[in-house]
Structure 1
Amino acid sequence: MLMKTKTSHKDEAGAEFRAGITACLPTIPGYWSIGFAAGAIGTLSGFTTLQTALLASVLYTGSAQFLFYSLWAAGAEVASVVFSVFLVNLRYLLMSSAMSVFFREHSTLQKLVSGLLLTDETFGVAVQRGSQHSTVPFAWMLGLNVAAWLNWILACVVGAWLASALPSSLMEGLSFSLVSMFIGLVLMLWFASHRKALETFSIAAAVVITLLTARQMDISLVVIIAASVSATLATLGLRFFSKGGK
């Protein structure tokens, strides 16, 4: 009887894990489009494909990777790079806090693993699942996170490898085209979003902060502050509207 119960739990966990992978599928094109650009910029910044892969697996956040590459290429100090990445990633504290209501019955290790692999996209998918079922199974969250994590790494590796294989004449003009592509991706994601008002407010907040502080501070610091504040406001707004929806 005990063996049957253990087998049943394993089967249920396996089914939840596969369901989490399935839930991740709609977000994978986004990971590939931005991850490809991040990997290519890594090559332009002087990193090898292996170094880009290691950074993608450890840092694992698009905005922070773009910031890291730009600061490193500009010759910024290590402490400055670390602090800047920390500021950009502060929003994940708020996201994890919002997710905690769905993980009350899980162990500390399960919460830690789920939080370490959390991204903007997996957060949105998981919140939708939690709002519908009042809980998020760990196996389901693990499947969602692992699928997103592996696809991000693979996309960065492919982008880095293709960029390194291009002729030097094309490499010189690639940085501008990647910036243009990144802007296009942002617009594409905005048009596909179901929360355009919230995202428009976040963009407007970043623009206002940039205009008000650009003359008083270094532009790189202004960008970090604007991105951090606007992302924080968007996360707080998302949490507020999620509670209001209940």
Structure 2
Amino acid sequence: VAAFLWLAVSRGEPQEDAEGNETGEKKASEAETEETTYWLFSCLVDDVMAPEIFARDMRGTLREFRVLSLLLRSKTPQTHAHLLKHDMDLCMLQSKWLLCVFTDSFPAETTARVLDVVFAEGHKAWLRVCVAMMVAHGDAIRKAAHVPDAMAILKRAFAEQHDADALLKAAHSRRWVGAFSRQVVAKARTSAVAQLRREAEAAAKARAARESNNARRIAERNKKGAGGGDEAERAVSAGEKEKNDDEKKR
């Protein structure tokens, strides 16, 4: 979209708030780069990263953050326990890590290096980097007792990560993040899918129970209302009968 807008300006086509032909020509010269960037990111999301990340129900995003949580449980158990204790869901804290593939989290130079590794190694590299960052900043995270505090700590940690070499070295260090085979990731993903399925089934049962209870209460309320109406009608009939009897006596 940006590329087409820039091209429109360069051709002198009407556009409100245009910055002039010079700027338009400059931006039009960048259109090829813009298009290349778009297709690279499209390939990254569709072919390299895990599937269904951008599904309408966010099932892919929820699944991959659950995978990350399970990996954290084995690789940095104290931090994982702290997140659970304070009800800090990483998917809610930093969904942009996945939805924007770090492009809105790391400095530009670090993002470029990390994306190179993700293209080369696949989605597992994304998990490696997340775990490495959580291990590196575990002490600070464990001091946060509230969600906004944890969000601020993580946002600052990623924004200040200018040393891409150190990050990637840690992300691929067995001493730092432990074993990270495809089998380990696959096992975590299988467990994550099973957990999410059980939670969805439990939520569906709870919702059905609530709806059933609501329907029963409404039926009971309507029944009581109908009974009250019958009693009122009987009272009116009795009153009219007494009135007629009095008139007859008179």
TM range (shorter): under 0.3
TM-score by length of 2: 0.25
Q: Which has the higher helix share?
A: 1
Larger radius of gyration: 2
TM-score by length of 1: 0.26
The structure, 1 or 2, with the larger RCO (C-alpha pairs under 8 Å, 6+ apart) is: 1
